[in-house]
Amino acid sequence: MANVEESRDQDYISVDHMALKSWVTEVFCKLGVPREDADVTADVLVAADLRGIESHGVARLGRYTSRLMKGLISPVANPVIVRETSSTALVDGNNGLGQPVAMWAMQLAIDKAREVGSGTVAVRNSNHYGIAGYYAMMALEHDMIGMSLTNSSPLVVPTGGRKAVIGTNPIAVAIPAGKERPWVLDMATSVVPRGKLEVYARKNKPMPLGWAVDETGQPTTDAQRVLDALTARLGGGILPLGGTALFSGYKGYNLSVMVDLLCGVLPGSNWGPKVDEPVDGKLVPSRVGHFFWALRVDAFRPIDEFKQEMDDYIRMLKESPKAEGEDRIWVAGEKEWELQEEYSREGVPLYYKVVETLRGIGQEVGLPFDAMVLGAGHSTGMA
């Protein structure tokens, strides 16, 4: 869930989300990415910031630009259907940006669901695709249930282990409602995603104890130490959802494994420690995999009846008795919907170190960040 208080920190600067998206699109175009793919990728990144998920927003832009410049991601890559049935497909992403192939594959799943009731598409040979929820939510406008999974580089230690061998491997599910907002679950199968550690490292703040372990397998609050050890593959990493075995961390551990099996083993993509594993000391393409599913609600019952009962269910949760000191019960996706509305009006808050990084990227590709984004209005806070 998004941290509202952090987003209002005085070290943030608020920017217009449309100006930000336009600038990010131009950055990708400068690096040889076709405009349509650049626009999709920019939209996914800015959507994360709009929903308060700063760990997966434009703070990640440098990851993409660096890999594009090093030839680790192909700027022009058209997805190809390798195998197909009426309800399933295997797609090869041809080492392109993850966002365009993910959108293409989810749309394919939706098209199949429209025809036969359910559509499942697995993707191989792809790259990081941003927030999983973006693609699951694509199903909502078609009155369908959507699911989106992806595996990632090894960042998580298995329960009882001391070396990261599986990814944070997120799960996203979006279910339509009527008058209530759709129910949208978008969660890592680890205690936190890597981006959360990066946020604490950028701010030079100790992270909560229980999020990660160092290279010896001992709990630590030093986010930068964990990140450095992960980069060098020295050991340590993020704990699975739940934390230690005492708090049922084995459940998150096996959820992560499930995602890896569906996104890596099933489509024939990289999995576990194979993702981003250097060859002869050199970086190679990630070759991650994704898994998408779309389900027509009206294949089971009339959509209006379903949406009305979804409203009843959501209200049941929100109106159930609250714990002492609590004034609200949240449902999945609710905080993000509210932040999206607020940030669309008032501007997206970017941490000042992220702004500095974006300025550096702008200088490198010849697109001044300040002139194109900060000069577009909605700018408040530190410059």
Residue 4 is predicted with a pLDDT of 34
**Which tens digit of pLDDT belongs to each residue from 205-232?**
999 999 999 998 889 999 999 999 998 8
Q: Does domain 16-76+355-383 have CATH number 3.40.190.10?
A: no
Confidence of residue 3 (pLDDT cuts 50, 70, 90): very low
Q: Point out the least confidently predicted range of 21-35, 105-119, 197-211, 248-262.
A: 197-211
The topology (CATH level 3) of 77-191+245-349 is Ribosomal Protein S8; Chain: A, domain 1 (3.30.1370)
SS3 state at 285:
coil
Closest CA to 126 of 279, 281, 278, 268: 268
Q: Report pTM.
A: 0.92
The residue-averaged pLDDT of 352-369 equals 95
Q: Does domain 192-238 have CATH number 3.30.465.10?
A: no
Q: Closest Cα to residue 242, out of 198, 192, 282, 279?
A: 192
Residue 89 pairs in a beta bridge with: 84, 121
Helix (H), strand (E), coil (C) string for 135-197: HHHHHHHHCEEEEEEECCCCCECCCCCCECCECCCCEEEEECCCCCCCEEEEECCECCCHHHH
Give the pLDDT confidence score for residue 232 in this predicted structure. Answer: 86
pLDDT at residue 380 is higher than 60? no
CA distances from 333 to 109, 180, 370 (A): 22, 11, 32
* Share of residues in the chain with pLDDT > 90 (%): 85
What gap in Å lies between CA 111 and CA 87, rounded to an integer?
9
Q: Which tens digits make up the pLDDT trace of 122-152?
A: 999 999 999 999 999 999 999 999 999 999 9
Residue 195 is predicted with a pLDDT of 83
**pLDDT above 60 (res 100):** yes
* Cβ density class 15-43: b for 16+ within 10 Å, e for less: bbbebbbbbbbbbbbbbebbeebbbbbbb
User: Is the Cβ–Cβ distance between 336 and 51 less than 8 Å?
Assistant: yes
Q: Do domains 16-76+355-383 and 192-238 have the same CATH topology?
A: no
Confidence of residue 377 (pLDDT cuts 50, 70, 90): low
Least-confidence region, from 5-19, 151-165, 185-199, 320-334: 5-19
Domain limits, the chain? 16-76+355-383, 77-191+245-349, 192-238
Average pLDDT of the chain?
93
pLDDT digits (tens, 9 = 90+) for 150-194: 999 999 999 988 899 999 999 999 999 999 999 999 999 999 988
